[in-house]
Amino acid sequence: MTKNISFIFLILFIQNSVFSQQKPQKQNVNFALAIHGGAGTILKKNMTPELEKEYTDKLNEALQKGYDTLSKGGSSLDAVIVSIKILEDSPLFNAGKGSVFTADGKNEMDASIMDGKTLMAGSVAGVRKIKNPITAARCVMEKSQHVMMVGNGAEQFAVQCKCDFADSAYFFDQKRWNQFQKIKEKELNKPVLDTTGSIKPSEVFFKDEKFGTVGLVALDKYGNLAAGTSTGGMTNKKYGRVGDSPIIGAGTYANNKTCAVSCTGHGEFFIRSVVAYDVSALMEYKGLSLADAANEVIMKKLVSLGAEGGLIAIDAKGNITMPFNSAGMYRGYMKSDGKKEILIYR
Ligand code: ASP
């Protein structure tokens, strides 16, 4: 008798596991994604029509590739990687190839990724030779027991992950170098550590320079959210400075229960305000809509602190919001219903 019962249980168990493997994942038709290429003092008067076209074309290419990934049934994480790699490979944006220079004339990049389904996350900071830091961040998430790796250690791990590497000549961009020289000159006239307190750090770092951190948030056909961010940081950054972009909860966050967020702006403020997680927390604990939560953080909290920047965010229904409090933000979105927009200015 007991033997018979055990046999029945065994059959039921086998059936159940075979069926659960065959069960197709439920598909959500409302897939969507949003992209940013950085916020800052991006003014139409400083832009030529040709340059504007270069930016919109590149954002469009990255957005379209991410969209194609999602429409073919790829995951939101795959879309994050595909799109961000395209922007990292372009000198137009401050990430990967187009990374800005540190105070000692080097390029140090940060990147992070988060999976809203599992709440797993990975990030790298202060890496100098990884061609696409976002791929290394994903590898940290998927192939290590850790969340964040920095500098040489992150690069050593990226070798194991078979990430592509590039030398400093690849990351050198004359325009970025000229920007850096201009900032250096300004710094000579206005030291950062002004003891009179008359200069806010945001002025030295941020005012009339354009930024171009890149980020992507996506909702896939299976209802899973993901977010990723990649950056060269801020021009003239010093002493191994790390910004918000590789910090989970500050520059990047994703949770299927709420939203996926990627930020851009003056990192020190974004870290202190835990911006990306704050948006999610306002939704989770206060029941705010995506747009209201993001607005609260970018337009109220950060503005009251004097911090410039913005974010892109998407919720589990595919709603998208892209608030920023700076002059401009390279941004765009695409939805499965065919809606698409690419914007630069306010
Ligand atoms: N948030 C980046 C950082 O502070 C910079 C940016 O978004 O432009 O490193």
Residue nearest (by alpha carbon) to ligand 1 atom 7? 264
Rounded mean pLDDT of 32-42?
Answer: 94
| 90 Cβ contact partners less than 8 Å away, ≥ 6 residues apart | 58, 96, 97, 98
Say how many C-beta atoms besides its own lie within 10 A of residue 304's C-beta.
Answer: 8
User: Residue 95: which of 107, 81, 103 has the closest Cα?
Assistant: 107
Q: Which atom of ligand 1 is nearest to the CA of 251?
A: 1
Mean pLDDT of the chain: 90
The DSSP line for 103-119 is TTS---EEEEEEETTT-
In the chain, the percentage of residues whose pLDDT exceeds 70 is 86
Long-range contacts, 75-78 (Cβ 8 Å, 24+) = 75/220, 75/222, 75/224, 75/226, 76/33, 76/115, 76/116, 76/218, 76/219, 76/220, 76/224, 76/225, 76/226, 76/260, 77/113, 77/115, 77/138, 77/224, 77/226
Q: Is the pTM of this model over 0.85?
A: yes
Among the ranges 175-189, 192-206, 273-287, which has the highest mean pLDDT value? Answer: 273-287
Query: What is residue 320's three-state secondary structure?
Result: strand
Mean pLDDT, residues 89-116 = 96
Q: How far is the CA of 261 from the centre of ligand 1 (A)?
A: 14
- In 10 A of CB 308, how many CB atoms? 23
292 CA to middle of ligand 1, Å?
Answer: 23
Nearest Cα residue to 154 out of 216, 213, 99, 112:
112
321 catalytically annotated:
no
pLDDT of residue 51: 94
List C-alpha distances in Å: 297 to 165, 183, 322: 37, 29, 12
**pLDDT given at position 136:** 98
Q: Is the CB of 230 under 6 A from ligand 1?
A: no
Does residue 233 line the site of ligand 1, with CB under 6 A? yes
The rounded distance, in Å, linking the Cα atoms of 156 and 149 is 10
Catalytic residue among 69, 135, 213, 235: 213
Residue 183, pLDDT score: 84
pLDDT for position 50:
96
Q: Which domains does the chain have, with CATH numbers?
A: 32-345 (3.60.20.30)
**pLDDT for res 27:** 73
Partners of residue 312 on adjacent β-strands: 262
Separation in Å, CA 346 to CA 292, 323, 326: 18, 10, 8
The kind and range of the H/E element at 315 are strand 309-315
Q: How far from chain centre, in Å, is Cα 128?
A: 18
Rounded to the nearest angstrom, the distance between the alpha carbon of 15 and the centre of ligand 1 is: 52
Which residue, 112, 108, 114, is CA-closest to 126? Answer: 108
> What is the number of alpha carbons within 13 Å of residue 4 lying toward its C-beta?
1
Tell me the pLDDT tens digit for each residue of 129-156.
999 999 999 999 999 999 999 999 999 9
